[in-house]
Amino acid sequence: MEIVDTHAHLADAAFDPDRAAVLDRARAAGVRAVIAVGETLADAERNLALAERHPVLRPAAGLYPGRADAAAAEALAAFIRRRRDRLVAIGEVGLDFRLAADTPARELQRRVFAAFIDLALELDLPLNVHSRSAGRHAVAMLLERGARRVQLHAFDGKAASALPAVEAGYFFSIPPSVVRSRQKQKLVRRLPLSALLVETDSPVLGPRQGERNEPANAALVVAAVAEIKAVAPEAVAEAVLDNTRRLYGPGVA
């Protein structure tokens, strides 16, 4: 069984003591590649450096919505243009309305997100999208701006809000918290297997709240999706690997 963890924060300091061992456990669990997303320019730079030392990593560059400002977005966009050949995605980027209670803060997030959608189209890079408490708004923006290659990670909205994105060919990645989240279970139940990816969002969103999550737990997601959809784990693994290659290209794993 081959798995790609399509969203994990391997540059996080939580992995500094034992990153190599974490990746060894991931490989032992069937994880063939990990898309290393970032929240800052520093994360993006570190992702590239880590990928040099750990070939299992596929580096991405992003700006967390809660950190969004014009200067940071411009600096990250310049970095992405310079390192386009080394990056597999722009992410994570998007909207987080839990962190933006007022209209000006939300409008700033929208402007920054719009710029990254346009950049992804220009450079033909996938978008790895954060949309906490803003799922339908993020989907609407992606559709309005004509985004093509899209992953919505750990989507916390209603399945009805996800369906227009599925129709547009976007993908939804499921984290290990699916084992304890009724919302994620409902999402898996409603969405077709052809629209699903596997992620961990390590070091958070693990199977047990409060414990450090890691990429090896991607195998738990495959098992959970298989149980929810009443299909063999091998069939889930094969389908989501095919989905991952359709979004990120055959060279991702």
Annotated binding site for a divalent metal cation: 7, 9, 92, 130, 153, 201
Question: Closest by alpha carbon to 189, among 238, 231, 239?
Answer: 231
As given in the structure block, the two tokens for residue 242 are: 């095919």
Known binding residues are 7, 9, 92, 130, 153, 201
- Work out the number of other CB atoms within 10 angstroms of the CB of residue 82: 10
Q: How far apart are CA 176 and CA 169, in angstroms?
A: 23
Burial letters 25-57, b for 16+ CB under 10 A, else e: ebeebebbbbbbbbbbbebbbbbbebbeeeebb
Q: How far apart are CA 205 and CA 92, in angstroms?
A: 15
Q: How far apart are CA 33 and CA 50, in angstroms?
A: 13
Residue 150: its H or E element: strand 150-153
With tokens 């790895």, the residue in question is 128
Query: Residue 140 in contact with residue 163, Cβ under 8 Å?
Result: no
* Sheet with 3-8, side-by-side order of all strands: 3-8, 31-36, 57-61, 89-94, 127-130, 150-153, 171-174, 196-198
